[in-house]
Amino acid sequence: METLLDVENLWVKFPSRHGVFDAVRGVSFTLGRERLGIVGESGSGKSMTGRAILRLIRPPGIVEADQISLEGVDLMKLPEKDMRSVRGQRISMVMQDPKFSLNPVMTIGDQIIEAYRLHTTATKTQAYEKSLEMLEAVSIRDPERVMRAYPHEMSGGMGQRIMIAMMLIPNPEILIADEPTSALDVSVQRQVLDIMDKLVKDRGMGLIFISHDLNLVADFCDRVLIMYAGRIVEVCDADKLHEAQHPYTRGLLNSLPRLDQPRDRLDVLKRDPDWSIAPSVSARL
């Protein structure tokens, strides 16, 4: 499989008064035109990994890596100006809650048009037409009205579909979806996922799907990285997740209720301090 993104030995550090806190510790993985899931509990460094790829960690945070290469170009060495043309145009990101990730005082139309025009020379009319097309692609009915509306007039599910439309409009190669359905009602989660899946597949994009929901990731992705305390503890194919070996992954699986194997008591995950010291497993292919 062709490699889109190659991340090698990625560290994210936050210096503080009590020493340096390492949020991500030497993570390595590659991404092809596939759906790669990153699973972990809160604080495991999965979101930080996503943001570090886009170099969005703000100071005082520090990102270090041997390389983050996007089709052979090391993003770590790019000047900020060139990095800006990578963001949006080549790698994009959908965040957790559309209530906060859309600008409340700009119309949805303005925000989508802006995302498109930043990377193209399209006129306003062309960008408007393209935005309507994109909104239709994410199953928004009455897109003309939505273009004029403000984010607070939208429901969560609509908001997230708008985010997806906005982030995919410059036609990037990679989409990082950071808990894209966690803030949504269960009833619309699936719908949003299906739309995202279809667009990513049709365009032959690579998807990094960050989530804390093991079942969802197993269902939805091709390959899964399990992160714990800033490290990758295990890598496996999504359909072979039930064969996972690492005690943390096993613990997570056993603590989930299952419809086909009902149990009276679920296992409680017991953490081993050794897990957070053990070296990160490489997920480079």
Binds another protein by CB under 8 A, chosen from 114, 197, 213, 219: 114
Which CB, 183 or 232, lies closer to another protein?
183
For residue 175, the minimal CB distance to another protein (Å) is: 10
For residue 178, the minimal CB distance to another protein (Å) is: 10
Segment contacting another protein (CB under 8 A): 62-70, 163-171, 195-203, 257-265? Answer: 163-171
Alpha-carbon separation of residue 165 from 86, 112, 160, 197, 251 (angstroms): 18, 8, 9, 13, 37
- How many residues sit close enough to another protein to count as binding (CB under 8 A)? 35
The answer to the question of residue 85 lying near another protein (CB under 8 A) is yes
- Binders in 36-55 for another protein, by CB under 8 A: 51, 54
Which CB, 59 or 262, lies closer to another protein?
59
Binds another protein by CB under 8 A, chosen from 92, 181, 211, 249: 92
The answer to the question of residue 106 lying near another protein (CB under 8 A) is yes
The C-alpha atoms of residue 145 and residue 200 are separated, in whole angstroms, by: 26
Residue found by looking up tokens 């989530």 in the block: 211
Which CB, 76 or 253, lies closer to another protein?
76
174 touches 200 (CB < 8 A): no
31 touches 3 (CB < 8 A): yes
The answer to the question of residue 105 lying near another protein (CB under 8 A) is yes
The C-alpha atoms of residue 82 and residue 78 are separated, in whole angstroms, by: 6
For residue 13, the minimal CB distance to another protein (Å) is: 17
Question: What is the pairing mode between strands 67-70 and 73-74?
Answer: antiparallel
Residue 161: closest CA among 183, 128, 193: 193
Residue found by looking up tokens 């770590």 in the block: 76
Binds another protein by CB under 8 A, chosen from 62, 76, 118, 238: 118
Binds another protein by CB under 8 A, chosen from 77, 145, 198, 242: 145
Q: In sequence order, what DSSP letters do the residues of 80-133 get, joined into one string?
A: HHHHHHHBTTTEEEE-S-HHHHS-TTS-HHHHHHHHHHTTS---HHHHHHHHHH
Which CB, 45 or 172, lies closer to another protein?
172
Q: Which amino acid is at 128?
A: Y
- Interface residues toward another protein, by CB under 8 A: 51, 54, 56, 84-89, 92-93, 95-97, 100-107, 114-115, 118-119, 141-142, 145, 150, 152, 163, 166-167, 170
